[in-house]
Amino acid sequence: MHATLIRRTLGGLVPPKIATPQLSATPSGGSPLAPLVSFYSALPKGPAALPAMHGLKARFFSGKNASAAPVLGLIGGLFLVGYTMDYQQHHKHHAH
C-alpha cells in the first residue's frame, strides 16, 4: 500500500484539534498524548443504541415484529377490486 493511502485511511481516527504539533512538543514532563487519551476515554463504550423507528415500514417490515401480512393484504385487496370490476363489466350484463 502507498503511504498516502494509509495516511488518508487512518487520518480520520485522530481529531485534528487534538493532534496538533504544539501538543506533541510539550515543555512540561507530561505525556504528549494525554489530551488524546482523555478524548478517547470520554467516548461512549459498547454497542450503539438502536434508533427510534416510526411509520409503516418500521411497524410492519423492520424489527422483531416483521411480517409479510401487509404485502399479502395488498395483493388480496387488489385481487378483490380487480375481480369485482371484471365481474361488473363482463359477467353481470352478458348471458352465458
Show me where the domains of the chain are located: 67-96
Return per-residue pLDDT of the chain as tens, 96 residues.
567 777 777 766 666 565 555 555 555 556 677 777 888 888 888 888 877 777 877 778 877 778 888 899 999 999 999 999 988 887 766 665
Within 3-54, residue ranges assigned H as helices are: 3-10, 21-24, 34-41
Amino acid type, 20 = T
Helix, strand, or coil (residue 93): coil
Q: What is the pTM of this model?
A: 0.40
Question: Among all chains, which residue has been given the C-alpha cell 422483531?
Answer: 64
